[in-house]
């Protein structure tokens, strides 16, 4: 089953998203800020990253942009999750290199639909995630 890194600084939001994803069968790790996320990415090689854009310190836009520049992370899909439900944020997230965008409060249905869609898109013809085994 696919590995998902959840980057979220709010413990309650992180817990909610983790429960939704784990019940759907995904393996989930949580990182609360950019340094933790960078460490987890190296350790677990996630198939997908759920990225809260509002993080303390380095924000999710900057972190996503950096992941896009690095050869070892540039093809990991990043699904932006944000409470900044403001006009222009979706475009800003896409410009930073996010592959999709979810607005808080998160609904189970929309989260799982986006996650499945992005994992399908990044899978090989046999359904194996491309990042597997690298």
> Whole-number minimum distance, CB 32 to Mn ion, in Å?
9
> Whole-number minimum distance, CB 46 to Mn ion, in Å?
19
Quick one: tokens of 12?
């309650």
Rounded to whole angstroms, the Cα distance separating 101 from 93 reads 7
- What residues pair up with 80 in beta bridges, in sequence order? 51, 101
| 82-121 footprint of Mn ion as x/- string (CB under 5 A) | ----------------------------------------
Q: Do 56 and 15 meet the contact criterion of CB atoms below 8 Å apart? A: no
Q: Does 54 bind Mn ion (CB under 5 A)?
A: yes
Give the residue ranges of DSSP H helices in the chain: 11-23, 34-44, 60-69, 89-96, 108-121
Rounded to whole angstroms, the Cα distance separating 11 from 76 reads 24
Q: Judged by CB under 5 A, which of 38, 47, 52, 90 binds Mn ion?
A: 52
Quick one: tokens of 87?
């006009």
Contacting range for Mn ion; rule: CB under 5 A; set: 29-37, 46-54, 93-101, 116-124: 46-54
Q: Which of residues 3-42 bind Mn ion (CB under 5 A)?
A: 9
Contacting range for Mn ion; rule: CB under 5 A; set: 24-32, 41-49, 53-61, 70-78: 53-61
Task: Tell me which residues touch Mn ion (CB under 5 A).
Answer: 9, 52, 54
């Amino acid at each position: 089953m696919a590995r998902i890194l959840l980057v979220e600084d709010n413990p309650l939001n992180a817990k909610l998203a983790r429960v939704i994803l784990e019940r759907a069968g995904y393996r989930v790790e949580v990182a609360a800020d950019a340094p933790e996320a960078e460490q987890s990415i190296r350790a677990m090689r996630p198939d997908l990253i759920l990225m809260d854009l509002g993080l303390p310190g380095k924000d999710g836009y900057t972190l996503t942009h950096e992941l896009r520049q690095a050869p070892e992370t540039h093809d990991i899909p990043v699904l932006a999750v944000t409470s900044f439900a403001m006009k222009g944020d979706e475009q800003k997230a896409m410009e930073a290199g996010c592959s999709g965008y979810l607005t808080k409060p998160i609904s189970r249905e929309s989260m799982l639909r986006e996650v499945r869609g992005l994992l399908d898109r990044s899978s090989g013809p046999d359904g194996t995630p491309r990042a597997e085994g690298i």
